Structure 1
Amino acid sequence: MSTVDRHGLELSGMGPEAARHHERALDALLFFRPEVSAEVEAALRAAPEAPMAHAFAAYLGLLGTESADAAAARERYAAFAAGGARADARESAHLAAAEAWLAGDIHRAGDILRDLVVAHPRDALALAIGHQIDFFTGDATRLRDRVGGALSAWDPDDPHYGPLLGMSAFGLEETGHYERSEQAGLAAVAAHPRDVWAIHAVVHTYEMQGRFAEGIRFLDARVGDWSGGNYLNVHNWWHYGLYAIEAGAIDRALAIYDAVLHNDRSMGVAMELLDASALLWRIHLAGGEQRERWARLADAWAARADGPYYAFNDVHAVMAYLGAGRIADAEAVTRERERWLADPHPGVSNHTMTAEVGLPVCRALVAFEQGRYRDTVDILVPIRHRLNTFGGSHAQRDAIQQTLVEAALRAHRHDLARTLLSERVNLRPSSPYNWLARARLAEELGRAAEAATAREHAAEHTKAITVAWGR
C-alpha cells in the first residue's frame, strides 16, 4: 500500500488517511504550528509501518535540541527499524538522515538531505529539515544555497513556495545579501501573512542592517500574525527585545522578558531558555543587574540537568548561572564538558562543536564574570571569526561578540577595542550600542571631542528608533 503526496512523491505504507495527516503535518511544520506533533502521531496510527511517518517523527524529536526528546525518538525509531519496512530510494535517504542525526552526526544528516534534494527538489520536508540543520550548525552558505538551489523547480503558485521563499530569505540574510533577503522575505509574508519564519527572516535583515525603527514598525504592523500560537513567537519577541535594548529602553525589553520570554508559565524548553539568557546577558553587559530574574532562569536551566548534547545550549545555561551569581554551577558545566571531551565520540558533531567553540566560550564567560577580562579576550579572539560553527544566527552570536568588546574595554586593550568597534560601526553605523561603546573608548583615551561626537551619533540613532514607538 502506498500513495503519493501533492508533489508526486511516494509515501510507502500510507493510505489516503495517513497521507492526509502527513500533508497536514508538513503544512504545520512549514508554518511552525503546534499541531505538527498531533498530525504526525495520527499518521503513525493510520500507517504504523510507513517510513516517512517514522522519519518525520524522528525529526520532530530532534528539532527542539532536547536530549530527552532525542533519546525517546531514538528508542522509538530503533523499534521501527528492526522491522525492516519497505522504502524507496528517497524515503531510504530520509531514514538514513534521521538515523545519522539520532546517532549524533547532524553534519552527516545535512549531507544526506543535501544530496536528496538534488534528485528531489520538491521534497519540502527534506528542505525544511535540512534548513534547520544548517541553522543548528551555523552553516550560512548552506542555509542560503540548500533552498535556493531547489526554488527553480517550484511553481510560485504552489502553497509551499511561500515558506520556502521565507527560508531562502533567512539564508540570504545570514550570508549578507540583505536587499535580496528583504525582497524574498516580504514576498513570502505577502503570500502567507502568518509565515512566522519569513517574518523572522525580515526581522533579522533589519537587525543586521541596523534598521531598528523599520523592524519595530514591521513587527507592530502584524503583531497578531506572529505573537502567539506558533513555535516561534518567543523568539520573535526576543528580536523585539533586541530593538528595545538598542534604543536604551531596558524597561521595555524587561517587560517583554517578563510577559513572554520567561515567567511562571514558561515550559522550560531549551529554545526559549536560551533566548531568555541571551536577552538578560546583553542587559548584564550594559551594567543592568537583574538578580531575581537571573535566579529564576538559572533554576530553570538547573532543573533540566542537561548533559553534553548541544554546545549552543550549554553557553546560554552558563550565562544564566553567572548572571545569578552561581559561578560554581557555571564552572561545573565546563568541568563536565572537559570530562566528556576526554573520551572520543566518533561521529558525534557536538564533540567538535563543544571542543572548538562551546567550551572555550563557556570558559570566557566565566573569566568575564570573575573580572579576568584579559583571559576573556585571550580566549575569544582566536575563535571570534568561527563562532558560527557551534550554531545559531549572527544576531544570536552577537552576545558573545559584545562580551569580547566589553572585555577589551575593561581590560584596557585599547587597540583591540578600537579595531572591534571600528568593525562594528562599519557594519552597522546606525547602532546606538556601537557608538556608545566607541564613546567609552574615546573617553578612556582622553579624547573628549571624539567621545562627544560618538555620543551625539548614538543619541541621533536612538531617537530614530524611539520615534517608531511614538515616544
Structure 2
Amino acid sequence: MVTDRYGNRLYECTAEAAGHLDRAVEGLLFFRPDFPDAVQDAVAACPASPLAQSFAAYLGVLGTESRDAVEARLRFAEFSAGLDHSALPRRERMHMAAARAWLGGDMGRAAQVLEDLVVESPRDPLALAVGHQLDFFTGDATRLRDRIGGALPAWETDDPHRGPLMGMYAFGLEESGHYDRAREVALAAVERNPRDVWAIHAVVHVHEMQGRFAEGIDYLDARLDDWASGTLLTVHNWWHYALYALEAGDTDTATRIYDAVLHHKDSTGFVMELLDAAALLWRFLLADLDQDTRWQTLADAWAERADPPYYAFNDVHAVMAFAGAGRLKAADEFIAERRRRLTLDGTRPTSNHVMTAEIGLPVCEALVAHVRGEYPAVIDLLWPIRRRVHTFGGSHAQRDAIQRTLLEATLRANRHDLARRLLGERTGLSPHSPYNWLGQARLADSLGEAARAAVARDTAAELAAPAARMLSRKLHRPYLTTPGAADH
C-alpha cells in the first residue's frame, strides 16, 4: 500500500497522487497560495482516494466562502454515495466523517473527530492543520493550544514539518494567554523556516496582546521579505501592521496600508480580506475619523457578495461595512434576513445557527446602534455577551473591535462604572497600550479629574512614541503607495 511522507498508509491511492497530497499538505502547513492546485492534482490523479476527496472537501470550507462550501458538499456527496465506508481504514474513515460533519454545518463534531484521530495518529498533519483551523473558527483557545501540543512529542526534533506545527502551537499558546511561551516557540519555528508565516503571525499576535507595538513593527520590518508577499497571510499580516500604526497614532501609515493592500481596485473580494478591511475601518470609525469614501467602496464589495448565512463572524463584518458606510437600511435588512433564516433552520441547528443566535445577531445590532448613537442599546446588547464573544470564532485581536465598541459606548453614555471596569481589565492585561491609557484619560475627563487625565495622556504619548519614531523613519516603501503591489 502507498504511504505518505509521514508513514501513513493511503487507501486507493497511487504513488503519483500521494506525491500531490504530500505537496498539498506542505502547502497548507506553510500557507502557500498554490496548495489548492496540489489538492486538485491529487483528486485528478486518483479520484477514488478518500483522503484526496476529504482534502478537497476541507478546501471547500477552510476559506469560509459559502459558495465554495456548497460546491464541495455536492462533490463530496456524489463521491460518498457509492462508497463502502466500512471497508475504509479507520484513519480515512475518520477524515471522511470529519469532512462530512463540517460540510453539514457541525463544526464541533468535525473538530472532535479530528481530535480523536490525532490521538491515534499524531503524525497526521492534515488532521492537525484542519483541526487547528476549526478551533480558530470556533474560538476554542484551549483546544487550539492542546490539539497541537499533545501531538508534538510524536514529531522528531529534526523533522522538517515539526516547525509549522510549532507555529500552530505558538498561536494556540498566545490565544490562551501564555505570551512568553508563545513567543519562545514561535521564534524557534521561524528560525527553522524563515517563511513560516503562521509562526510569524503568532509573534505578531503576542506583541499585539502585550501592547509592545514598537517591537512588533521592528519584527515585521526585519522579516519583511518572508511575509509581505506570496502567502495566504500577506494581507492579514499587513492588517496587523496597520493596527500597530494606529496605536502609534500614525493614521497616515494605516490608511496607506489599507489602500495598497487591504482593499483597492484590484482586490479579489475574498471574504477573509474583506474582514480585515472592515475591522480596520471600524477602528477609524470608533475614533471619529472620517473614512466615508473607503467605507462606500467596501460596502459595495460586501453587497456584491450577497452571501447566504454561513459564518456569523463574516456576517458581523458585513454589517460593519454597511453601518460604517451609513447604509443603515441595508444593515437592518441584512440582520432581519439572518433572524428570519434562524427560524427556518429546523430542529437540528448548525454551528452557525448557534453562533448567529447567541453572538452574531447581538453584535450586528450593537454595531448599527453605535452608528445611530444609541449607546445605551449598545451596552445592553454587548455587556451580557462580552465574555462569550470568542465562541463565534476569530482571535482576541480580531474580536477587540467588538470589545472596543462596548468600551466606546460606556464612555459616550457616561456609564462611568462600566467604563472603569472595562478599562481596568484592559490596562491590567496590556499596560503598554496607548489606546487603553487614552481611554483612562477620557474617563478621568468625564469625572472632572483633570490631573489624572493629564497623567494618562502623558503615559499614552510616552508609550506611543517609540513605535511612532520607528514608523517615521522606516515606512517609506514604494509598494505602500501602489494599490495591490504588496498583495499576494
Under TM normalisation by the shorter chain, which class is it? over 0.9
Query: Normalising by structure 2, what TM-score?
Result: 0.95
1:142 matches 2:137:
no
Q: How many residues align?
A: 470
Alignment of 1:63-82 (within 5 A): 63-82=62-81
Query: What residue number does 1:91 align with?
Result: 92
Alignment of 1:142-181 (within 5 A): 142-181=143-182
Kindly provide the amino acid, as one letter, of the partner of residue 36 in structure 1.
F
Percent identity over paired residues: 62
Query: What residue number does 2:33 align with?
Result: 34
For residues 312-336 of structure 1, give each alpha carbon's deviation from its aligned partner in whole angstroms, at most 9, with x where no partner exists.
0000000000111100111111101
Q: Distance in 1 between matches of 2:470 and 2:144?
A: 31
Quick one: which of 401, 408, 411 aligns to 1:409?
Answer: 411
Alignment of 1:448-459 (within 5 A): 448-459=450-461
Query: What residue number does 1:189 align with?
Result: 190
Could you tell me whether the CA contact under 8 Å between 2:245 and 2:471 is conserved in 1? no
Q: CA offset at residue 470 of structure 1?
A: 5.0
1:264 matches 2:265:
yes
Quick one: which of 433, 436, 445 aligns to 2:435?
Answer: 433
Could you tell me whether the CA contact under 8 Å between 2:370 and 2:378 is conserved in 1? yes
Could you tell me whether the CA contact under 8 Å between 1:174 and 1:394 is conserved in 2? yes
Q: Distance in 2 between matches of 1:176 and 1:367?
A: 31
For residues 87-144 of structure 1, give each alpha carbon's deviation from its aligned partner in whole angstroms, at most 9, with x where no partner exists.
2100000000000000010110000001000000000000000000000000000000
Q: CA offset at residue 421 of structure 1?
A: 0.7
Query: What residue number does 1:241 align with?
Result: 242
Q: CA offset at residue 281 of structure 1?
A: 0.2
Residue range with higher mean Cα deviation, 7-16 or 374-383? 7-16
Query: What residue number does 1:57 align with?
Result: 56
Which 4+ stretches in 1 moved above 2 angstroms?
Answer: 467-471
1:361 matches 2:396:
no
For residues 366-405 of structure 1, give each alpha carbon's deviation from its aligned partner in whole angstroms, at most 9, with x where no partner exists.
1111110000011100000010000000000000000001
Q: Distance in 2 between matches of 1:226 and 1:122?
A: 27
For residues 12-69 of structure 1, give each alpha carbon's deviation from its aligned partner in whole angstroms, at most 9, with x where no partner exists.
1111111111100000000111111111111111101000000000001100000000
Alignment of 1:290-369 (within 5 A): 290-345=291-346, 346-369=348-371
Query: What residue number does 1:217 align with?
Result: 218
Q: Distance in 2 between matches of 1:176 and 1:184?
A: 14
Structure 1, unaligned stretches of length 5 or more?
none
Q: Distance in 2 between matches of 1:444 and 1:96?
A: 56
Q: Distance in 2 between matches of 1:92 and 1:327?
A: 47
SS of alignment partner, residue 394 of structure 2? coil
Kindly provide the amino acid, as one letter, of the partner of residue 11 in structure 1.
L
1:206 matches 2:203:
no
Q: Distance in 2 between matches of 1:271 and 1:154?
A: 31
Q: CA offset at residue 347 of structure 1?
A: 4.6
Query: What residue number does 1:6 align with?
Result: 5
Could you tell me whether the CA contact under 8 Å between 2:123 and 2:154 is conserved in 1? yes
Q: Distance in 2 between matches of 1:367 and 1:34?
A: 38
Q: Distance in 1 between matches of 2:296 and 2:355?
A: 28
Q: CA offset at residue 467 of structure 1?
A: 3.0
Query: Normalising by structure 1, what TM-score?
Result: 0.99
Q: Distance in 1 between matches of 2:355 and 2:440?
A: 32
Structure 2, unaligned stretches of length 5 or more?
474-488
Could you tell me whether the CA contact under 8 Å between 1:214 and 1:468 is conserved in 2? no
Q: CA offset at residue 8 of structure 1?
A: 1.2
Could you tell me whether the CA contact under 8 Å between 1:285 and 1:406 is conserved in 2? yes
